Structure 1
Amino acid sequence: MRRILFVFLDGVGLGPPGPENPLSSHDTPALRRLSGGPQWTRTLPETTASRHLIRRLDATLGVDGLPQSGTGQATLFTGRNCAELVGRHFGPFPHSATYDVLDHANLFHHVQSLVAAPQPAAFANAFPPQFFEAPRRRWTVTTRCCAGAEVPLRDLSTLQEARAVPADLTAEAWRDALQLDVPLRTEAEAARDLAATHRDHRLTLFEYFLTDKVGHDRTDLDAARLLDSLGRFFDELLDRLDPATDTLLVTSDHGNLEDGSHTQHTRNPVPLFVHGWAAPYFADATTLTDVAPCIIAALRGANGES
């Protein structure tokens, strides 16, 4: 069975190399492993091979202003230009004009229509009890997609059973900010658990948002420590995937982390890395709108080959 693992990194763009760009000033070998050697900057060369593809994606969507998470993520996970639909960039939460497409035509829906299985798609993030106990949840783009497609949200019990991954990889925030009795784990253990979840589904999504929080200076974690943590995670994850049957897709919704001179989003392109059998299906990807259709085409093609 051929599968796709989608690791979404919030707020990571490709900016000019220089001291203000931690993606060029701090060397992270595992990230260069994803890119085939070069650092993640605007000079990143595009590559097309049978099992490795690199693209620079336009995140502006033809709309003025700074790209935002609400419309950027809605575009990524539906294939619709949601900034154009709304008439502007909007975020961090989804705009009401995008509710219909998120609720009825998101990526999970398309995978469900293609794959005859009880749960062909999964969202691997774990959510703490406080999320489920809130009287009025503030739905993000990803959780709204799950609700619309009836993809279960994973909770404390699935995290304890190693069938889910905390958004920060280590569960440190669960212990420190939420005061939950959860054992700390390493980034390698998080990668192990994500790979195990991925093996049970045709499409698995994992959302990592600390990249955007660090870019906004909303956490004590600095960019160098963050990139080292991500590096340990990706090193282990790549080691656990077989490119003949597994594809790892990594991309973002807008720039932020790559420019340390301010705490705002940027209009820089975002990277698209595709490692594995599905790489050729992304050869023509140029904007955020192309990611979901390429995933669907790849899984449809995999169905035809099986």
Structure 2
Amino acid sequence: MSILFLFVDGVGLAPEGPDNPLSDAPTPAIRSLLNGAFTIERVGASSGVLLRPVDATMGVAGLPQSGTGQTALLTGVNVAAIHGRHQPHVPPVALRPLLMEHSIFRRLTEGGRRVAFANAFGVRYWEALAARRLRRSASVIAAEGAGVRFRNDTDLRAGSALTWDITGETIRASGGDAPIISARAAGARLARLAAHYDLVFFETFITDLAGHGRLAHMASSDQPPPAVAEQIHMAMERVDGLIAGVLDTMRSGDTLLLTSDHGNIESLTAKTHTCNPTPLLVIGRDTSRFEHLISIVQVADAVVAAAQESLA
């Protein structure tokens, strides 16, 4: 059937304890799936649920970063080794052709599969790119290379796209006009999209922003910003609601996959990223296809194989 790929920025797996805000985050859907918190102790497989720790360092010294981590997730290539280091923020310029030509989006569309990029990109985003206030992320470069359609505000209001913050609340608080929906309703939207596509990709950066303490800064409020742990709990509550909504609605043959590019929110004492493994959470009939993965570099090939074989 379909693969629903949730990329959740800045989430690592660490032991349960006072330093790890995921230990007591309000995540009832995840807790039900794992019989406990989203921590390293819950690694394993049960009927229809797999949690694996996957290495984000790619064998390269230094802290994993978004630019190389996201590129590796989308291409299946150890770009940190090619680049010689971990690259923050956006993909290295020299490796952008690789994203254009070898992403999971390009490989699947060239194989006749249907790919949806579920994020909505409003006019303000494209204006910011044109004014060079923003630079293209790995996913945007990959989608452009594959000719995948970018969804817009019309799609958002029609219920066929999501805002990057899942509910629209963060965007509205920072001056945008996104409609506000529940996280659970957002998850249901993703699952309904899967009825028409072989791969549905959605990304959220709300977790990494929370881990860096920047989530509150995006809101226009006179109140003191909440502590980092509180921001992380809020972000994870939205992610958990998203997962719950997907599981409420997705078809029995669909597979939900969640992973990340580097650790961050799982440690309050770490002021930057971490070298902790990132989670690979897979729910559905195809969990066995992912049981062998040990690195983020392997995720792309496994996703492509699962999507291709689903209609073989």
User: Fold conserved (TM > 0.5)?
Assistant: yes
Alignment partner, residue 97 of structure 2: 100
Match of 2:307 among 299, 303, 306: 299
Q: Per-residue CA shift, 1:93-120, capped at 9, x if unaligned?
A: 111132121011100011112235xxx0
Q: Per-residue CA shift, 1:222-270, capped at 9, x if unaligned?
A: 1222222222222121111233x21000111110000012331000001
Q: CA deviation at 1:25?
A: 3.0
DSSP-derived class of the 1:303 partner: coil
Aligned partners of 1:4 and 1:277: how far apart in 2? 11
Aligned partners of 1:209 and 1:264: how far apart in 2? 15
Q: CA deviation at 1:296?
A: 1.4
- Partner amino acid, structure 1, of 2:213: D
Aligned partners of 1:219 and 1:11: how far apart in 2? 13
Alignment partner, residue 128 of structure 1: 122
Aligned partners of 2:174 and 2:14: how far apart in 1? 32
Q: Which residues of structure 2 form unaligned runs of 5+?
A: 217-225
Match of 2:36 among 35, 38, 46: 38
Residues 207-286 of structure 1 aligned to structure 2 (within 5 Å): 207-220=203-216, 222-243=231-252, 245-286=253-294
Does structure 1 retain, via aligned residues, the 8 Å contact 2:27–2:240? yes
Aligned partners of 1:205 and 1:183: how far apart in 2? 21
Structure 2 CA distance for partners of 1:147 and 1:178, relative to 1, 3 Å: farther
Aligned partners of 1:52 and 1:170: how far apart in 2? 26
User: Aligned pair count?
Assistant: 296
Does 1:199 find its partner at 2:198? Answer: no
Aligned partners of 1:99 and 1:225: how far apart in 2? 33
Structure 2 CA distance for partners of 1:48 and 1:78, relative to 1, 3 Å: farther
Does structure 2 retain, via aligned residues, the 8 Å contact 1:6–1:248? yes
Aligned partners of 1:26 and 1:179: how far apart in 2? 28
Match of 2:171 among 165, 168, 174: 174
Does structure 1 retain, via aligned residues, the 8 Å contact 2:14–2:266? yes
DSSP-derived class of the 1:147 partner: helix
Q: CA deviation at 1:299?
A: 2.0
Aligned partners of 1:280 and 1:109: how far apart in 2? 24
- Partner amino acid, structure 2, of 1:174: I
Aligned partners of 1:218 and 1:166: how far apart in 2? 18
Does 1:5 find its partner at 2:29? Answer: no
DSSP-derived class of the 2:303 partner: helix
Match of 2:53 among 43, 52, 56: 56
Aligned partners of 2:194 and 2:251: how far apart in 1? 12
Aligned partners of 1:278 and 1:53: how far apart in 2? 10
Q: CA deviation at 1:27?
A: 4.8
Aligned partners of 1:47 and 1:188: how far apart in 2? 25
Aligned partners of 1:133 and 1:210: how far apart in 2? 21
DSSP-derived class of the 2:311 partner: helix
Match of 1:152 among 142, 145, 149: 149
Q: CA deviation at 1:178?
A: 3.5
Q: Which residues of structure 1 form unaligned runs of 5+?
A: none
Does structure 1 retain, via aligned residues, the 8 Å contact 2:188–2:250? no
Q: CA deviation at 1:147?
A: 0.8
Alignment partner, residue 187 of structure 1: 183
Aligned partners of 1:76 and 1:194: how far apart in 2? 20
Does structure 2 retain, via aligned residues, the 8 Å contact 1:48–1:283? no
